[in-house]
Amino acid sequence: MFNLIVMQIKVESFKIKDWDEVQTGIVLAENEQWILVKYIPVDYAIDGYNIFNKKHILKRHSGKDEKQIERVTKLKGITIEKPDGFDFADTPGLLQWSEEQFGLFAFQTEDEYAAFYGKLNRIEKNILVIDSIFADGKVEPNYDYEFDLDEVRAITFGSDYFESMRLLWLDENK
Tens of pLDDT, residue by residue over 81-106, are 889 899 999 999 999 999 999 999 99
Q: What are the percentages of helix, strand and coil residues in the chain, rounded to 5?
A: 25, 40, 35
In the predicted model, is pLDDT for residue 142 greater than 90? no
Q: Which part of the chain is CATH 2.30.30?
A: 11-76, 91-172
The tens digit of pLDDT for each residue in 98-127 reads 999 999 999 999 999 999 999 999 999 999
Class (C level, CATH) for 11-76:
mainly beta
User: Cα torsion at 44, 153, 170, 40 (round to 10°)?
Assistant: 0
pLDDT at residue 77, as a whole number: 87
3.10.450, 2.30.30, 3.10.590, 3.30.70: which CATH number matches 91-172?
2.30.30
| DSSP E strand boundaries for 55-113 | 57-61, 105-108
DSSP assignment string, 58-72 = EEEE--HHHHHHHHH
CA 119 – CA 44 distance, rounded (Å): 32
Length of the chain: 174
